[in-house]
Amino acid sequence: MFSLQAVSKTFPGGTKALDNIAANIAPGEFVVLLGPSGCGKSTLLRLLAGLELPSSGAILWENNQRPAAGEVGFVFQDATLMPWLSAYGNVYLPLRLRGVRQAEATPKIQAVLAQMGLAEFADAKPKALSGGMRMRVSIARALISEPALLLMDEPFAALDEFTRHRLQDDLHALWRRTGKTIIFVTHSIYEAAYLASRILIMSPRPGQIAADISVSIPEGGERRTSAAYTNLVANITHTLHRIMPHE
């Protein structure tokens, strides 16, 4: 999909957020970026989205082509919906910005809303929706333009445990079904272990890739209580202790 070549980012104020990040990401991987707050995870996502430019190094895209507008879906930590638009209107937005007619977009929007379990809430304004449903709208908005690459920045961090599990299940199923490339940021070890096909652990500032773990938990069965999952959590925890010694 793309390859990060010695990517560094120093902000104008002098903060060095990322230092010499290198990684190859293949299409269809579910990559979780795991690291403590402030280690540069959001910055890395923003570089991938093209919202920031690296200070040095480069991102090389497959076929030498950076995805065009709308080919990258972005999900933020907060749902960041427009409160004056319905669920339908919020999901329509990316298409609307590209001049797609409403008549043409409606079947797509309805399909994506249904896929996210929101079929009956198309006309609801964000204020009338729960936190979990708002996040579902936000994900639907990212999916509407059928992006090959989905960037998600701690999307479930503000949700309660029950809602979070439901959304994690749905996201995992979505990834299995569609084979999208997903880069998912979190600071939760459990979330990383549950979702990822590959975990990149980042060290504190300046952010570097401290460990690169390939995950193979067999599909099917109770994933969260499987032995493979529990072992993976233990493995990640050890790695984190190794790279982040207690002060």
Partner 1 sequence: MNRWLERLAPIAFGIIALSLWQAAVTLSGVPSYIVPGPIDIWHAYLDSYTILNPALVSTLTVTFAALAVATAVGVALAVAMAASSLFRAAVQPWAVTLQVTPIVAIAPLIILWVPQPFVALVVCAAIIAFFPILSNTAAGLAATPQDLQDLFCLNGASRWQMLFLLRLPSALPNFLTGLRISGTLALVGAVVAEFVAGSGGFASGLAYRIIEASYRLQIPLMFAALIMLGISGIFIYSALGLLERFLLRSRDA
Residue 33 neighbours by CB under 8 Å, 6+ apart: 41, 44, 45, 183, 184, 185, 186, 200, 202
* Footprint (CB under 8 A) of partner 1, residues 182-201: none
Residue 70 interacts with partner 1 (CB under 8 A): yes or no: yes
The pair of structure tokens assigned to 246 is: 């207690």
Nearer to ligand ADP, 217 or 236 (CB): 236
Residue 42 interacts with Mg ion (CB under 5 A): yes or no: yes
Stretch that binds Mg ion, among 41-49, 90-98, 142-150, 202-210 (CB under 5 A): 41-49
Q: How many CB atoms lie within 10 A of CB 104?
A: 9
* Chain centre distance of CA 89: 22
H helix or E strand, kind and range, residue 113: helix 102-115
Stretch that binds ligand ADP, among 34-42, 97-105, 114-122, 230-238 (CB under 6 A): 34-42
Taking CB within 5 to 8 Å according to partner kind, which of Mg ion, partner 1, ligand ADP, none is near residue 11?
Answer: ligand ADP
From the CB of 212, what's the least distance to ligand ADP, in Å? 17
* Footprint (CB under 8 A) of partner 1, residues 93-112: 93-94, 96-98
CA angle 217, 173, 80 (to 5 degrees): 120
Distance CA 159, CA 171 (A): 15
Residue 23 neighbours by CB under 8 Å, 6+ apart: 3, 4, 200, 209, 212
Nearer to partner 1, 11 or 238 (CB): 11
Query: Binding residues for partner 1, how many (CB under 8 A)?
Result: 25
- For binding to partner 1 (CB under 8 A), which residues are involved? 46, 49-51, 68-70, 72, 74, 76, 78, 80, 82-84, 93-94, 96-98, 125-128, 145
